[in-house]
Amino acid sequence: MALFDLPLDELQEYRPDVPEPEDFDAFWEKTLAEAREHDLDARFERVDIPLAGVDVFDVTFAGFGGHPIKGWLVLPAGAREPLPAVVEYIGYGGGRGLPHMHLLWATAGYAHFVMDTRGQGSSNAAQGDTADPVGSAPATSGFMTRGIEDPHEYYYRRLYTDAVRAVEAARSHPLVDASRVAAVGGSQGGGVTIAVGGLVPDLVAIAPDVPFLCHFRRSTTLTDRMPYREIGIYLKARRSDHENVYRTLSYFDGVNFAARGRAPALFSAALEDQTCPPSTVFAAFNAYAGRERSMEVYSFNDHEGGGPYQEDVKLRWLPQYLRG
């Protein structure tokens, strides 16, 4: 696919007017306060795996509604002192998978906390182990329209809350330095990373790659790829619900969370990305409130973005914040 969105010079200046609810901050303060009424109850059970370089713990903690959320904590083998930590969120449809799939950050010397994604992990190679016990009104296939008529019932209210609680769970482990925690993720995980960056004020850095969940109104009208297309299919049947749906989505838009982010941030975008169009990524990047922000651009890539090349960039970028 050739370039289909705005040219790069326009992307670099793209600052759309993305609606923000007047009660955005109050909504999230109340949501997180309600979640914290439940004991975090973070449990770490050591896993015996045939790898010499890492120690692995099977994690369970209380997320939204006190629901049990799974994860992995992967540490450099034999760690004895608290380590800086990388909390990672997973792409759409994926789950936490198996421990050996998550070796990069531990082999770089960090504690690596991988959050499972509630209800996901059955549509690609990485299986999930976390149920979503909350149902919803009629929705299209996938996760994008579950509870979309009401921000209090929307699926991503639960997922973003789980993600904040994952940072708290990671910080509760004695081998994690709670003062040095970064958040990373790609696609859906990138969108969640931006949200967490806006909700957790003391992260040392965030690194969202080709992030999903940004500038919903443009995303859902510019691309016909899934998962954004789920919303279009839903509105095909519910022809009069457009404005109510977009009002719900405004509480979860990465652009609005970016406007609250303060940690140093490294974004990436791919200019042929039809899944998360580059203008939607730049909308969040250009709205980002932190003074230290940078963007890696992959001109001839689709949603795979920088892949291992972007991993190399992050491995060289994060130490200045995690080891400082």
User: Mind telling me the catalytic residues?
Assistant: 187, 273, 303
CA 189 to CA 167: how far, in whole Å? 14
Please return the burial class of 161, using the count of CB atoms within 10 Å of its CB with bins 0-12, 13-18 and 19+.
Answer: buried
Give the CA diameter of the chain: 59
To the nearest 10°, report the CA torsion of 56, 187, 314, 53: 20
C-beta of residue 117 within 8 angstroms of C-beta of residue 187: no
Give the E-state strand segments of 41-138 in sequence order. 43-47, 54-62, 68-76, 83-89, 111-115
**Angle at which helices 188-199 and 155-172 pack, to 10 degrees?**
70
Nearest to 245 by CA among 180, 149, 121: 149
Nearest to 158 by CA among 132, 186, 120: 132
C-beta of residue 223 within 8 angstroms of C-beta of residue 275: yes
CB within 8 Å of 142: residues ≥ 6 apart: 226, 227, 230
| Straight-line distance from the first to the last Cα atom of the chain, in angstroms, rounded to the nearest whole number | 41
